[in-house]
Amino acid sequence: MAFLRKDQQQRLCSRERFSLLLLNLEEYYFEQHTANHIVTKGSQTERKIRGSFKICSKSVIFEPDESSHPIIKIPLRDCLQIEKQEASGANSLFSKTDHGRIALIFTQVYFIKEHNIVAPYKIERGKMEYVFELDVARKVQDVVETLLQLHRASRLDKLGDQTAMITAILQSRLARTSFDKNRFQSVSETLHMECKAEMVTPLVTNPGHVCITDTNLYFQPLNGYPKPVVQITLQDVRRIYKRRHGLMPMGLEVFCTEDDLCSDIYLKFYESKERDELYYYIATYLENHIAEHTAESYMLQWQRGHISNYQYLLHLNNLADRSCNDLSQYPVFPWIINDYTSAELDLSNPETFRDLGKPVGALNKERLERLLTRYREMPEPKFMYGSHYSSPGYVLFYLVRIAPEYMLCLQNGRFDHADRMFNSIAETWKNCLDGATDFKELIPEFYGDDFSFLANHSKLDLGKRQGGKMVDDVELPPWASGPEDFLQKSKDALESPYVSEHLHEWIDLIFGYKQKGSEAVGARNVFHPLTYEGGVDVYSIEDPDEKVAMLTQILEFGQTPKQLFSIPHPRRITPKFKSSSQTSSYNTSIADSPVSPGEESFEDLTEESKTLAWNNITKLKLQDQFKIHKEAVTGIAVSSNGSSIFTTSQDSTLKMFSKESKALQRSVSFSNLALSSCLILPGESTVACSSWDNNIYFYSVAFGRCQDTLMGHDDAVSKICWHNNRLYSASWDSTVKVWLAGSAETTGTRRHNFDLLAELEHDVSMRDGSHPGTSLDPVTARPLLPPPHQTIAPSPLPDSGHGQPERGRHAAGDGHPGGLRQHLGSVCRHAAAPALQPHGGRVPGRFQPRQSPRAQHRRRRLRERDGRADGDTHLFSDVRAAPEVLQLGRRHRARRKSVGRAAGVGSAWRQSERQDLGSHGCRDMHVDERTV
């Protein structure tokens, strides 16, 4: 199952019997010592049982090495006396050996997992004395003092005082220790941050120290359990999420897989500032970091049928802080099927399905009327349902057959009454419809592939029902031939057309606008205020008892997911829906979908979805304003989670600004010329910047330096963009180049490899598409040249009415001052023979294969010989320009080299060139005018 991680499954199958699940809720495991349990029979006989003596915040646990002996758990609150036992007898005065024994006198003891069998705890009551002998005798005094301190805390009258004293003891232990730097994987690692935190697992937490370096994330448990250090390589991390734990923003969850619902580590911090700082470090130093996606992006993919209903619900649960490591926020799925009595399941009949527009509590009209009557008479704060649709108890109700230890931990060592266990699908559904306090929904396991939670493969003794029948496998509906068939038909129902058409109604209730406020009241969807985010300010509660009771209720009662949508959710475009079943379990990667998350479009979307996507455009208002550059900003790129903003400017710098801290994080300069644009490459570990020095720079966010430089053009690069693993660059040299990004795996390096695929020269007007005798390729939209034998007569320029050819708008069709240039170049080029085509017969306007270095060198030599600027050669060579115009081109090139490309100087340069052109009667002719 989801929260039974592989290491936990291995532990359950191994001989190791101790786990943190043997502790009470909100109890901590501090330390252990190798010891013997001294069993005395009679006055002389003494037997030793070898094992491990464990000190916890509320109990003492002794785990024998032999599995035939039960684990002993002694609650400290039931202890009457704890003392160091001195040697007895006549020889005690002459004994030089310290026995190292501790005696505990108590009134209640638990015996757990005898013969390593998971079963309800056995309890023995009455005054008893147990003696334990530590291997290291000199530690006895310290152990006794620790036990006495914890014993005083457990015997306090008020629960709040108990918790406060235990917390103080825990923080004192954490303050006296620190992360062991000898645990670093390499001596060259650089420490960036260390703080205190707790590793969260279902029902229990484990305190320790978090440490992050430039290559690894470490967690060292205070007690060394389950292993001395948990280590995660930053390069392996694929996703990180900020979480709320107990309705407080303290959690951080790290995933090393892109498609697994269960994370590799879930940490809870004592300060939200430390959580945010660690999140920033991971996001900054993580080269392969994959940013979080938004609910809107997943919604658009779901609408278009690119992800299934199952996938979409998993993504929404993940974005709404639902985690398999937190049973109070376990992923929630809806009841879909309403028919559990028929022999055949008819998915074409709407009556087969549950009404997804209503919460479970509103499906029965009679019960709803009783609840509403109570709601109207209830003082503030009002709520309709006294229990939640998702809680730790409900999760373990479904999973008790595969997670019995979790149920025993939650139920204080007992299973629930046999008649209240998960015995039958039909009975459970009927109780959800008719029960006075049962409004639970389902969990993802009901739509996965692992049916083990429906069968009692471990042969657990779950009790006997009133009719005398033992609780065993779950009773399935008649239309299911077995557990596997039940899950398959449940998946088919979830992906059916009916559910696809109505699933948005259920999303409105759980994740959407009907979750809170007046819409929730109208939808009969109001739960206890403590279950909602922001429903209570825990920090404002001063009374320790009230605060502990509040946190306990929050954790055990269940929590409402974080609200993801504030307006009605659009329905799915069912005619376009591609009904593809999900892969086994939840491990369904969005990478397998036809489009990537960043490729949302409005193709085939309904008017309702378009309204949803654009409804906030009129509500935009200025939120913040920051001046971080000295000159004009030329480019901006924002990370997918919105936390980092990258900008380029004419002041030649790339700057990284943190939206969260509202502070400048990075400032980098690649050359002394302006940067013209920037973009974030996939993976968000690299930022590409184009520059006026003809280059494209690749800045590594992870390493904080320029990683690569692409010398891509003969003139300033004005714009770059990224699409489909290709880099597109535009330049003042009148070309657009397409570069294919090489794979780091194939090159064996992290540096970027770019191969030139094609080059487009802007020498013909592509707006109207053709001139006399030309046409556009219907597939590529490239101009097609006529056959070689076809003669094309030059077209006369339109008359302006004054006896002169009209220039500008009529010449080019778009009002560009280069209209005459484009028109003359096109007409003369098409009229010329193929041998007269410039640059060796290359066809302008078409994508060309990459030229050899010799051909490129020859092309540059031709330009230098003619003394013309890039973009002007074709025009003058085709129209046989007058010598004075050629001389102007030479002056233009020389002046550009001497003046440079500074913004102010460039403006004066362009004005001067226009005056020169005017003196030759070519005022409207565009000679390589470059603007940003």
**For residues 100 and 331, which has the higher predicted lDDT (pLDDT)?**
331
What is the pLDDT averaged over residues 885-892? 40
Give the DSSP letter string of 752-776: --EEEEEEEE--S--SS---TT-EE
Domain ranges, ordered by start, for the chain: 18-87+98-173, 184-292, 314-557, 628-742+753-760
Cα–Cα distance between 880 and 813 in angstroms, integer? 24
Q: What is the reported pLDDT for 270?
A: 94
Cα–Cα distance between 174 and 775 in angstroms, integer? 77
When pLDDT is cut at 50, 70 and 90, the band that residue 332 belongs to is: very high
- Summarised one tens digit per residue, pLDDT across range 212-244 is 998 899 999 999 998 999 999 988 888 888 898
Cα–Cα distance between 191 and 197 in angstroms, integer? 17
Q: Where does 158-300 show beta strands of DSSP type E?
A: 191-201, 204-213, 216-221, 230-233, 239-245, 248-255, 265-269
In angstroms, the Cα distances linking 186 to 192, 216, 318, 862, 872 are: 14, 10, 34, 56, 58
- pLDDT exceeds 60 at position 820: no
When pLDDT is cut at 50, 70 and 90, the band that residue 610 belongs to is: low
- Summarised one tens digit per residue, pLDDT across range 389-436 is 999 999 999 999 999 999 999 999 999 999 999 999 999 999 999 999
Query: pTM for the complete prediction?
Result: 0.64
Identical fold at 18-87+98-173 and 184-292? yes
What is the pLDDT averaged over residues 667-694? 89
Q: What is the reported pLDDT for 856?
A: 52
When pLDDT is cut at 50, 70 and 90, the band that residue 588 belongs to is: very low
- pLDDT exceeds 80 at position 451: yes
- pLDDT exceeds 80 at position 360: yes
- pLDDT exceeds 80 at position 814: no
- Summarised one tens digit per residue, pLDDT across range 715-732 is 899 999 998 889 999 998
> What percentage of the chain has pLDDT greater than the value 70?
71
Report the chain's mean pLDDT, rounded to a whole number: 77
CA angle 628–631–633, rounded 5-degree value = 70
Cα–Cα distance between 20 and 204 in angstroms, integer? 7
Q: What is the reported pLDDT for 663?
A: 81
Q: What is the reported pLDDT for 778?
A: 35
Nearest C-alpha neighbor of 751 from the set 699, 694, 712: 699
**For residues 197 and 842, which has the higher predicted lDDT (pLDDT)?**
197
- pLDDT exceeds 60 at position 759: yes
Q: What is the reported pLDDT for 845?
A: 36
Q: What is the reported pLDDT for 727?
A: 92
Q: What is the reported pLDDT for 736?
A: 92
Q: What is the reported pLDDT for 927?
A: 33
CB 400, CB 422: distance < 8 Å: yes
Least confident span in 316-325, 357-366, 541-550 = 541-550
Cis before 849? omega within 30: no
Q: What is the reported pLDDT for 37?
A: 95
Nearest C-alpha neighbor of 254 from the set 229, 271, 233: 233
- Summarised one tens digit per residue, pLDDT across range 640-662 is 888 889 999 988 889 988 888 78
- pLDDT exceeds 60 at position 904: no
When pLDDT is cut at 50, 70 and 90, the band that residue 536 belongs to is: confident
**For residues 671 and 367, which has the higher predicted lDDT (pLDDT)?**
367
- pLDDT exceeds 60 at position 626: yes
The structural architecture, per CATH, of the domain 18-87+98-173 is Roll (2.30)
What is the pLDDT averaged over residues 53-80? 95
Q: What is the reported pLDDT for 619?
A: 61
Q: Which CATH superfamily is domain 314-557 in?
A: BEACH domain (1.10.1540.10)
Q: What is the reported pLDDT for 327?
A: 92
When pLDDT is cut at 50, 70 and 90, the band that residue 343 belongs to is: very high
What is the pLDDT averaged over residues 109-135? 94
628-742+753-760 belongs to CATH 2.130.10.10: yes
First to last CA, the chain: 57
**For residues 859 and 366, which has the higher predicted lDDT (pLDDT)?**
366
Least confident span in 82-91, 275-284, 664-673 = 82-91
Q: What is the reported pLDDT for 108?
A: 96
Q: What is the reported pLDDT for 912?
A: 39
What is the pLDDT averaged over residues 757-769? 61
Least confident span in 32-41, 88-97, 166-175, 326-335 = 88-97
In angstroms, the Cα distances linking 315 to 156, 159, 398, 490, 507 are: 45, 39, 22, 19, 12
- pLDDT exceeds 60 at position 438: yes
Q: What is the reported pLDDT for 239?
A: 81
Q: What is the reported pLDDT for 780?
A: 37
What is the pLDDT averaged over residues 349-365? 96
- Summarised one tens digit per residue, pLDDT across range 728-741 is 999 988 899 999 88
Cα–Cα distance between 850 and 328 in angstroms, integer? 59
CB 689, CB 696: distance < 8 Å: yes
- pLDDT exceeds 90 at position 348: yes
> What percentage of the chain has pLDDT greater than the value 90?
49
- pLDDT exceeds 60 at position 316: yes
At 859, give phi and psi (nearest 5°): -65, -40
Q: What is the reported pLDDT for 49?
A: 94
When pLDDT is cut at 50, 70 and 90, the band that residue 79 belongs to is: very high
CATH hierarchy code of domain 184-292: 2.30.29.30
- Summarised one tens digit per residue, pLDDT across range 256-304 is 877 677 888 999 999 999 999 999 888 776 654 454 578 888 898 899 8
- pLDDT exceeds 80 at position 747: no
